[in-house]
Structure formats: C-alpha cells, structure tokens
Structure 1
Amino acid sequence: MNKNVLIAGCGDVGCELAQQLLDTGNYSVWGLRRNIDRLPSGVHPVEGDLSNPEQLGEWPSNIDYVVYAAAADGPGQDNYHKAYLRGLSNVLSRLQADGHRPERVLFTSSTSSYHQNDGQWVDETSPTNPGRYAGKIMLEAEAILINSPFPATAVRFGGIYGPGRNRMINRVRAGEGCKAEPVIYGNRIHRDDCAGILAHLIQRDEQKLPVDSLYLGVDHEPAPLYEVLHWLADQLDIMLDDTHPAPQPQRGSKRCSNQRIIDAGYTFRFPNYKAGYSELLDSMSSE
C-alpha cells in the first residue's frame, strides 16, 4: 500500500517534493495550502490556512509522513512567527488531537540558525547563537518539533534557487556586482535538491534506516558571492559594477558542510552553483 504524505505549506519546494514522491508510485500526497489551484496534478488538495487552527482543511484518515514546508509571507518578525511557530504548532496539535501517529515529521528550517559570520565551516554539531529574529525563530520552531511526541527531522537549507527564484540572476542583469573583499560566503541549494533531500529522508525512514534529527541542506561548494556574481555575469556577457555593496543574506558569511546528508546516501542533482545555474540559464533562454 502507498504511504500517505501530508505536505503542510505546499508551495514551491513542497510541490516539487510532491511531484518527486508521486513519480515513485509509492506515495499518495496531500498538499495543504491556501491556493490549491497551483498544486501538481495527482496531489489531493487540502485548502487551509496554517496560521488558523480552525482552518487546516480535511486530512486523510491515516497520515504516515508530514512535511512542514511553509514559507513566510514576507520579511518581518510577525510573518516569521506566524509561518514557523504558530503554523507548525497548529499542525502538531491537530495531529495529536486527531490521533495521528506519523512515522516522522520533517521541517524545512534554515542556515540562518547559525551565527558564524567570518567564513568558518559549520555542520550539524556547530553552536547556534543567532542575533537576528529569523535564526532565533527557526531555532525555536526546531525545538517545538523535536519536543513533539513524533519522530522528527529538521533540514536547515541554504539559499534556495531554481525556477522562479532568480534573485542573483536579476542582480547580475542589473549590472550590480560587489567587492571581492571582504569575502562573503554563501551557501546554496537548488530547489530540486531541497525536495530531493526530503524525499530521500522519507524513503530512508520507510526502509527503517537511521534518520537523524538534523541535516544541513546545501550543495557541495560554498562560494564567495563575488565569485558567483561574476561567473553569472560571464555566462550572460554582462559587465558588473563592483562598487555596489555585497548581498548581505540573513544567513551571514559561513561555509556549511553537507557531509551528513551525503553519508545518508543522498546524491545531489546539482552539486554546485555552476551546475544548477547552468541549467536554469539554459531553460530561461529557451523560453
């Protein structure tokens, strides 16, 4: 029998995850979101609002896996609190109230949980003491999940790019480079690999293989933002003005290791930014 997967907050990453799970033929997928018209074909629609415990929609009678993949409606502490604390708490409470016993609940967290900002290497064992609200709220959400009665895993994703996520490309097209010094490292992951990691962990758990409570979801090669911008500029044949300030992502400047998810058997579709952005640029040029 197919396993039932509920994706709460079935947006960009959630829809790609749903498609990957459906493609295996081994899962039935329910997608919970406010606008169900954008769900992939084959996904059972669940129209609901994660921030309202009375509007979480109709769930299947049996749920084997839950993926909480919501995104905040925008920047700001209130939006983050609503998406990652209130929404997650509402889903966990509903699971308990309805008597569900999922085999595992997975949560899409963020590398903003780390405070390191001087290019240090970090992994799942590194200390976390973020100074900004985003990282603090993510850590609080992770704690809510891990302290729930269900087996749980958080994946701290780096900067997600892919179809429709063209922030760096748009910056390059506007001619905005940055200074090479000081070096500011970024950690990226293609949207398809975000979904791929989540699908891999679900399949690993289903096979009764060990699944840790925390993984870093980044590709193999953290890279200076200056390098990424200028590589993209070379592909697009654009001259950059490097007098602009460097992008200052909430995730700071650090180098994140993905060794734990590699050791868990995941193979990246896009192991570095050059591989991922090459396909993205090709697809954009053919549109």
Structure 2
Amino acid sequence: MTVLIAGCGDLGTEAGLRFAAAGFSVLGWRRSAEKIPAPLTGQAADLTGSLPTIPADTEVVVISTAARERSEAAYRSAYVDGTANVLDALDRDGVHPRRILFVSSTAVYGDAGGGWLDEESPTAPASVTGAVIREAEDLLHARRPDAIVLRLAGIYGPGRTRLIDQVRAGTADPGRGQLTNRIHRDDAASAIVHLTTAVADPAPLYLGVDNEPVEKREVLRFLAAELGTELGPEEPSNSSRGGNRRLSNTRLLSTGFEFSYPTFREGYRAVLAGDGVRHG
C-alpha cells in the first residue's frame, strides 16, 4: 500500500518516515525531489502544475503544501489551487484513497480574548492568508466530505528555532500577556500518521496543538533559564501573530493519540539537547 505525501517538505518528510516505519511504501512529491531521503521515493512535482501519475494502490494522501511567500496570491496558489490539483489528479487516475488529510493552520481562528477555542468554534481569520487556507479546507470537504483537516498551531522543533535564536541574541520580545499555542514537529508528524491509519472513523477536523497554551513570555523565560542567559525588560508586545486564544486538543486526545512532547518544556529541551546546548 502506498502513501502519497503531496508537499514533502520538512513536516511531510517526517510523517513519511513514520509511514515507512509502519510498513507503507511512501511516495513524496516535492519541487526538489533530491531532498527527499530514503526509504521514501522522491518525485519532482509542483502541486500547482502537471502532476505525475498516482499509484493505483494509494491508500492515504497527505496534502502538506506551503506558500512560497506570505501573500494572498502565493497562498491561493499553494493551498486552494494546489489542493484542487491533487484532487483532480486522483480523479484523472481513478484512484480512491481510503484517507485524505489536509495540513491546515490555526490561523483560520480569530482573537478569543484569551478564551478557549476548539473544532466547533467559528473561524474568523485575522489575515487574508488565513482566509485563503480556510477556503482550501472548504474546497476539500466539498469534494471529499470524509477528508481530514488537521489545523496545526505554531510548529517548532529541529531547524525551527526562531525563539531560541532570539533569546540567544538578546532580541526576544517578551510581550505582555500574548498567548501562544504550539506543537513539536515530531508530534505533528505522528498525528498525521495516527489520524490516517489508527482511527477507524475520524472526524472531519482536528486541532493539532500540545497540552498547554501559554504566554509567550513564559516560554522565553524558560528558554533563557535553559540557556543560562537573561531576558530584556518586559515591553508591550509588538506582535499579535497567533491571536489571543487558547486552543484545545481534547478531540485529538480522544482518538488515543499520545504526545511525545506534551508541553513546550519537553519539546524545547529535546531541541536544545539536539543542538548540543547544555541545560539544567
């Protein structure tokens, strides 16, 4: 049985390695196919262009696209046009996968004044790019009502060390009360595999967030302590990116999913250890 990762970047590759470890044959589509590691099979493909033939035994399709830049046009091309193009290719080749999962974003939600949101909460994207991602979700469910949408919060992990780098450089903005929701890259990849292979009757929508929404300044204080450095004085936050909200992972946990990194503490300690940094 084949798993197709349409958009086999960092997250897609990590999910693909987990599918392969579970015994699947994994085909990854990426513009730069040479970047896809064995045992995955890489195939050069631009999701917005002409797509290769899809293997007839494809059981799972993961659409994990990314925009080339942060603009409405780039997001529409990657998310809306790319998703439609993958679905068209499936129809073209007469392939009917058992599971289709679309990697979405919690950017489709608005500000909740610090309150809790879940899969039943209304969406209210604060950005044009978030609205385009929401449009892609609707397109997918209109054509495949049984498809799974996984809305991921801020992904961190190997190679995603923006906050660590800011703390090291002394340029981190602790903000004032800004909430952050996040998930380790490896847990995001595991959730993709879990929802497409281990859940008998998946819901159409899940939030991919860890167990602890937290103020950004608490994360930064933790990192500063681990790195043995000091944060600058607290200032009003210049950023509202991420929205003032707490996102619930209750539905994901109800499927039996278990986090390797249930909070930012375990996750960032693993990142720092992998980076060769001593921490207490």
TM range (shorter): over 0.9
TM-fit CA distance, 1:241:
1.5
Task: Please tell me whether residue 241 in structure 1 is matched to residue 238 in structure 2.
Answer: no
Q: 1:7 is matched with which residue?
A: 5
Aligned partners of 1:194 and 1:217 also within 8 Å: yes
Aligned partners of 2:60 and 2:98 also within 8 Å: yes
Aligned partners of 1:134 and 1:250 also within 8 Å: no
2:18 and 2:232 map into 1 onto residues whose CA distance is: 40
Amino acid at match of 1:223: V
Aligned partners of 1:204 and 1:210 also within 8 Å: no
TM-fit CA distance, 1:276:
0.2
Amino acid at match of 2:191: I
Task: Please tell me whether residue 204 in structure 1 is matched to residue 204 in structure 2.
Answer: no
Aligned partners of 1:120 and 1:254 also within 8 Å: yes
TM-score (norm 1): 0.92
1:260 and 1:248 map into 2 onto residues whose CA distance is: 29
Task: Please tell me whether residue 283 in structure 1 is matched to residue 274 in structure 2.
Answer: yes
Q: For 1:233-260, what per-residue CA distance to the aligned partner results, in whole angstroms no more than 9, with x for missing partners? A: 1111111223555363542121000000
Q: For 1:35-61, what per-residue CA distance to the aligned partner results, in whole angstroms no more than 9, with x for missing partners? A: 111112111222111111x2x224213
Identity of aligned residues (%): 39
Q: 1:129 is matched with which residue?
A: 124
Task: Please tell me whether residue 86 in structure 1 is matched to residue 77 in structure 2.
Answer: no
**Secondary structure of the equivalent of 2:28?**
strand
Aligned partners of 1:103 and 1:150 also within 8 Å: no
Name stretches of at least 5 consecutive residues in structure 2 with no aligned partner: none
Q: 2:149 is matched with which residue?
A: 154
**Secondary structure of the equivalent of 1:106?**
strand
1:272 and 1:118 map into 2 onto residues whose CA distance is: 22
Q: 1:39 is matched with which residue?
A: 36
Aligned partners of 1:204 and 1:211 also within 8 Å: no
2:225 and 2:241 map into 1 onto residues whose CA distance is: 26
Aligned length, in residue pairs:
278
2:80 and 2:155 map into 1 onto residues whose CA distance is: 21
Amino acid at match of 1:5: V
TM-score (norm 2): 0.94
Name stretches of at least 5 consecutive residues in structure 1 with no aligned partner: none
Q: 2:140 is matched with which residue?
A: 145
Q: 1:188 is matched with which residue?
A: 182
Q: 2:17 is matched with which residue?
A: 19
RMSD between superposed Cα atoms in Å: 1.7
Which of 171, 179, 204 is the equivalent residue of 1:176? 171
In structure 2, relative to structure 1, the CA distance for the partners of 1:140 and 1:7 (3 Å cut) is same
1:75 and 1:245 map into 2 onto residues whose CA distance is: 25
1:236 and 1:286 map into 2 onto residues whose CA distance is: 7
